[in-house]
Amino acid sequence: MNMVDIRAAQAAYRDELVAAGLLIPTGVDGLYGRSGVFEEVVERFDALVTRWGGADGAEAMRFPPALNRQYFEESDYLKSFPHLAGTIHSFGGDEKAHRTLLRRLEEGQDWTEDQVATDVVMTPAACYPVYPTVARRGALPDGGRLIDVFSYCFRHEPSIDPARMQMFRMREYIRIGTPEQVVEFRELWLERGRGMMASLEMPLDIDVANDPFFGRAGAMLSSSQREQKLKFELLIPVTSTEQPTACLSFNYHQDHFGHIWDIRTADGGVAHTACVGFGMERVALALFRHHGFDPAGWPAAVRKVLWG
């Protein structure tokens, strides 16, 4: 399939999902409502993740889908992914500026001139609020920390691909500790991720991957990330078999976040971090793709895994 065919397949699958009522269009690419059936699948998969990971004693944290702007600025996100970031702005003008805003709105012109940055930005990945939060607690305990998060995330990547949304949910486990603890965690979840998705009878492949670092310097960061095998993705065909969709990802950040926020292990070293991320919408879309739009008709074994 060439790019034109891949786009056509993406558009076709999106249209099918919309026609079936699973996704509710809003007029913006990548921004959808979800039906009750879609949400139930997301909830059942979320519960499945807990079944596989819940016994490890992770500490649950739930943040709103926005991040303290200061944390965001400190995180280096703007160095690597300025093109994906979403910042929250609000009207900051006086009454005169308000009249101008209304006039421009009326005339269909740009009205955003007096919008000013607030203290919050959209969360780009569910784990971002965790590192500065853990850092504030001081040095890690001997065993390090294991955190469980779930959040809507925003990325400015409008697409006709229904699997590439601008707002989507990510469940994550985050390991913070010594390099050994963190590498062991990632190995464990690579195996668990494979087992979990195989139990849902999904065709899958795990492969080395890279993040879409911005610009010319970004190309070097991407290839170094690949060479060091810092990121793996669990891929499932959703709109194309040649370009399968990353449904889970396994990321080793080395001491990147530990260094930025000065997170220390019990013995004083700079903490390493890793996370496993589950793309809730992508997993749901993969299930609908391979087992059909009506969960009542899914294979009995898959229904048993999800509904017990």
Of the candidate spans 10-18, 87-95, 107-115, 165-173, the one that interacts with ligand ATP by CB under 6 A turns out to be 165-173
Binding test (CB under 6 A) with ligand ATP, winner from 281, 284, 291, 306: 281
Residue 221: CB partners within 8 Å, gap ≥ 6? 80, 210, 211, 213
Interaction residues for Zn ion, span 169-228 (CB under 5 A): 172
Interaction residues for Zn ion, span 274-293 (CB under 5 A): 275
Cβ(274)–Cβ(175) under 8 Å? yes
Binding mask 233-272 for ligand ATP (x = CB under 6 A): -------------xxxx-----------------------
Q: What pairing do the DSSP bridges indicate for beta strands 205-208 and 167-177?
A: unpaired
Task: Report what 155 binds from Zn ion, ligand ATP, none; CB cut-off 5-8 Å by kind.
Answer: ligand ATP
Q: What pairing do the DSSP bridges indicate for beta strands 245-254 and 231-236?
A: antiparallel
- Count, residues near ligand ATP per rule CB under 6 A: 17
Binding mask 157-176 for Zn ion (x = CB under 5 A): ---------------x----
Residue placing its CB nearer to Zn ion in the complex, 13 or 131:
131
- Supply φ then ψ for residue 246, to 5 degrees: -75, 110
Binding test (CB under 5 A) with Zn ion, winner from 9, 127, 163, 306: 127
Task: Report what 127 binds from Zn ion, ligand ATP, none; CB cut-off 5-8 Å by kind.
Answer: Zn ion
Cβ(306)–Cβ(45) under 8 Å? yes
* Cα 87 from Cα 64, distance rounded (Å): 14
- Supply φ then ψ for residue 194, to 5 degrees: -60, -45
Q: How far is CA 123 from CA 69, 154, 252, 298, in A?
A: 10, 6, 19, 34
Interacting residue ranges for ligand ATP, rule: CB under 6 A = 125, 155, 157, 163-165, 168, 170, 211, 246-249, 277, 279, 281-282
